[in-house]
Amino acid sequence: MFYSLQIVALDLGIKMITSFKNRDVVSILDFTREELETLFEYADKFRKVEGKLNLLNGKVVSLAFFEPSTRTRLSFEVAAKRLGADVVSIIGEEASSIAKGENLADTIRMLDAYSNIIILRHRYEGAAKYAAEIAENPVINAGDGIQHHPTQAMIDLYTVKTLFGSIDGLVYVVLGDLRYGRAAMSFIYGLSLYKPKKLYVVAPQLLRIRNEVLQILKERGLPIEEKNDVREIISEADVLYVTRIQRERFPDPMEYEKVRGSYIVTLDLLEKGKSTLKVLHPLPKVDEIDHKVDTSRYAAYYLQARLGVPVRMSLLSLVSGVEI
């Protein structure tokens, strides 16, 4: 059953947390568990709504994506449009005055003048924080270099909650590129807001989690442990979070060749785990998951991608101060 906008507007019961309004979204660590719970309650509502709403009528959302993107950009665009906002976009540096030498600061000032929310993806770490210092309107980080991807973490956590009913008490395995993978790291940071039973991280030697980050996570009380082989712990896992090796981040292509294809998730591996095991992946995937997994009961990554729209609708609404 689908709700109409009016019914949604009347269907109160979610207390709006004013801390979201006009807020920059730079890192998942800037949020509390309670704030994420509010976001997820919004997402639950939006999942039940079909068609276009007018909650953000008269607002303009700008998308400034200076790195390639499929899901993040499209789901933000769909989310904004479904809320009734207009969307303007810069896709790639070559299509904007950045190609003429304009700096990011001036680009942000223009987007700030033309729109109410700026969604930014950039290859430099700290770009979103910097943009947030310049813009008066909220800036949402859609990925800054190898550092943060907070909205992906929100979607990932919401996917777990949707699948298991809770984020606490589960055993997580994060497999892949923990050196350059901003989605995997943001997911792990997000887990540190909850109480997982255990978090195993498995990465090729060259792509291991940095010591300083590991230290921070341990200090935050996350029960994290590094393992060399996913087969050692697959039987314990509730969630296997897999990431692609981030080829584009390697300073030296030879280094990439050393780790390319160093792990692959197959049905054989998954069948050694619990029957309820779910595989998440922020996508795009290349060859780290066997295609046979895609149509198996383990694959949750297409659901995860679909949930990008309601979660991003929720975030845009909350940041705009819209109550549902």
Do the Cβ atoms of 269 and 233 come closer than 8 Å? no
* Nearest CB to other proteins, comparing residues 29 and 74: 29
* Nearest CB to other proteins, comparing residues 104 and 119: 104
What's the min distance (Å) between Cβ of 25 and other proteins? 16
What's the min distance (Å) between Cβ of 316 and other proteins? 24
* Nearest CB to other proteins, comparing residues 103 and 166: 103
Q: What CA–CA distance (Å, rounded) separates 107 from 94? A: 13
DSSP string across 191-260: HTTS--SEEEEE--GGGPPPHHHHHHHHHTT--EEEES-GGGTGGG-SEEEE----GGG-SSHHHHHHHT
What's the min distance (Å) between Cβ of 182 and other proteins? 11
* Nearest CB to other proteins, comparing residues 15 and 100: 100
What's the min distance (Å) between Cβ of 241 and other proteins? 21
Taking CA atoms, 80 is separated from 42, 117, 118, 129, 297, in Å, by 15, 10, 11, 22, 31
- Would you give the binding string for other proteins spanning residues 188-227, x where CB under 8 A is met? ------------------------x---------------
What's the min distance (Å) between Cβ of 212 and other proteins? 5
What's the min distance (Å) between Cβ of 120 and other proteins? 11
> Which residues 117-156 are close enough to bind other proteins by CB under 8 A?
122-127, 129-130, 144-147
> Which residues 78-117 are close enough to bind other proteins by CB under 8 A?
101, 103-105
Cis before residue 223, ω within 30 degrees of 0? no
The HSE-up count of residue 190 (CA atoms within 13 Å, CB side) is 29
Paired with 41 in beta bridges are: none
Distance of alpha carbon 80 from its chain centroid, rounded?
17
The number of residues in the chain equals: 324
* Nearest CB to other proteins, comparing residues 14 and 134: 134
Q: What CA–CA distance (Å, rounded) separates 116 from 61? A: 6
Interacting residue ranges for other proteins, rule: CB under 8 A: 101, 103-105, 122-127, 129-130, 144-147, 212
